[in-house]
Amino acid sequence: MTRTFEGRLAIDFFDKSGSLVSAEQMTAIALGCRAGMHAIGPFAGTVKVIRVTFVSFPGQTDLTGPVLRFVYEDPLDVECSHTTDYRFIGAGGTCPKPEDIVTMMKTELIKQIKEHLKRAEARMKNAQARMERLETSEHLDTGGLGTLETH
């Protein structure tokens, strides 16, 4: 059986300036993240938490939009994260559509998780190779002390 999303979705109620986030933004994000976790299938099992904060980018817009941080882990329990903000989701508006969040998760997030899992696989292969070298060693280097005896 494939493990499904067992993590949590944490969405701030207030932006960095202390203003209440709109219900429209919160609803779109919650629906998009929920549908996105379903859409990414078995990759959802690696995600521990989706953390959503709200920021504005001075000089670009006075409007506040979401920043989504996905925290995930590999089979070795090594944690990693991927962060993206509203400027890179869909049309780049401060209230991304749920379907645009799903699309971002199915492309960008899956790509990031796959790369993390490949690094984990390389670490496991490296550890296995080290173990095999240790197990196949005919003798231990005694540092010129000759044969070691135990009493």
Q: Are 14 and 20 a contacting pair, CB within 8 Å?
A: yes
Give the amino acid at 102: V
Residues across the chain: 151
Q: Is residue 2 part of a domain?
A: no
Q: Residue 2's pLDDT band (boundaries 50, 70, 90)?
A: very low
The pTM (predicted TM-score) of the whole model is 0.79
- 111 inside domain: yes
In a domain, 140, yes or no: no
In this predicted structure, the answer to whether residue 106 has a pLDDT above a threshold of 70 is yes
Domain range enclosing 116: 8-135
pLDDT in tens, 122-138: 989 998 888 888 888 75
**Number of domains comprising the chain:** 1
Please give the Cα distance from 69 to 53 (Å, whole number).
Answer: 8
Q: Residue 66 falls within a domain, yes or no?
A: yes
For 36-57, how does the pLDDT look when each residue is reduced to its tens digit (9 = 90+)? 999 999 999 999 999 999 988 7
Does 38 map to a domain? Answer: yes
Residue 24, SS3?
Answer: helix
- Would you say residue 113 lies in a domain? yes
As a dihedral over the C-alpha atoms of residue 85, residue 109, residue 122, residue 2, rounded to 10 degrees, the angle is: 140
Pairwise CA distance, residues 72 & 50, whole Å: 9
Angstrom distance (rounded) from CA 133 to CA 114? 29
For the segment 94-121, the average pLDDT, to the nearest whole number, is 95
Query: Is residue 142 situated within a structural domain?
Result: no
Strand ranges inside 6-145, DSSP E: 8-11, 47-55, 65-73, 79-85
Is the residue at 3 inside a domain? no
